[in-house]
Amino acid sequence: MVIKKPQSASERIILALDVDTLEEARELVVQLKDYVGYFKVGLQLYTACGYDAVRMIHEMGSKVFFDAKFHDIPNTVARASANLVKNDVDFFDLHIKGGSKMLSTTCRLCREVAKKYNKPQPTILGVTLLSSFGQKTLNQELNVNMNIDEYVSRLAKVALEAKLDGVVASASEVGAIRRVCGDDFIIVCPAIRPTWSVVDDQVRVVTPTDAIEAGVDYMVVGRPVIFAKDRIEAITLIIDEIEEAKEIIKERL
């Protein structure tokens, strides 16, 4: 298992390239590559321009989080994930609900493929519960009679046991996840909303300060930066907020 904890405030930020064209994505990468650690290629961009997006990000010297949240039978997910490794993807994710066999088969194959093709070992993350779900939809639509913290930490344990590197979860579940999975486990948190931004369709949102306080390693930010009038100003505000939160925590110790 390769542990990749972020070293700086910028490195903690994963910018979601949720746009429809390679040109728009390139513009964002050119503008923001010195301010963020990773660019996230998700379903929207991948279905528009495929691996060209991944290649473009690498050509600019940045790293890629491929966020397709795979969920299928073990063989299909493992082979699709191995293709990501062959294409130099740095981080990618799978739904933990795909089951421990899907997770462990994928981890095993990806690590073998990375060795065989002399590629860096990828960071493999498990998606717990989407941040667009709340307690009510978990109970009433997914028919899970548990509170979110317990449900998410149980899923995180399945991910840990299957030898994933970490999980994608909301900041409010970090305490419960750390208790079960420890400090080395990577926690990536989407639905980051600085106080000056709008919530959009996310439900379990947190500010960058809350995320750092909770012990999140990486945070995914999309619309608050992509649609900001001044993107550099927006990302700089987020970086400053992360640094301030880290300082406050240090002073408390």
Cα–Cα distances in Å, from 65 out to 70, 179, 229, 241? 13, 26, 25, 23
69 noted as active-site residue: yes
What is the rounded distance in angstroms from the CA atom of residue 94 to the CA atom of residue 104?
A: 11
The answer to whether 226 and 28 have CB atoms below 8 angstroms apart is: yes
| Single residue of 221, 237, 238, 245 touching ligand C5P by CB under 6 A | 221
List 5, 33, 63, 69, catalytic entry? 69
Nearer Cβ to ligand C5P, position 114 or 129? Answer: 129
Q: What Cα–Cα distance (Å) separates residue 221 from each residue in 4, 84, 216, 228, 234?
A: 19, 22, 13, 12, 11
Q: Give the shortest CB-114-to-ligand C5P separation in angstroms.
A: 24
Asked if 208 touches ligand C5P (CB under 6 A), the answer is no
Among 42, 126, 166, 208, binds ligand C5P (CB under 6 A): 42
User: Between 121 and 160, how does the x/- string for binding to ligand C5P read (CB under 6 A)?
Assistant: ------x--xx-----------------------------
DSSP-derived pairing of the beta strands 13-16 and 38-42:
parallel
Q: Are 91 and 66 in contact (CB under 8 A)?
A: yes
Binding residue count for ligand C5P, defined by CB under 6 A: 16
Contact positions vs ligand C5P (CB under 6 A): 16, 18, 42, 67, 127, 130-131, 168, 190-191, 200, 202, 220-223
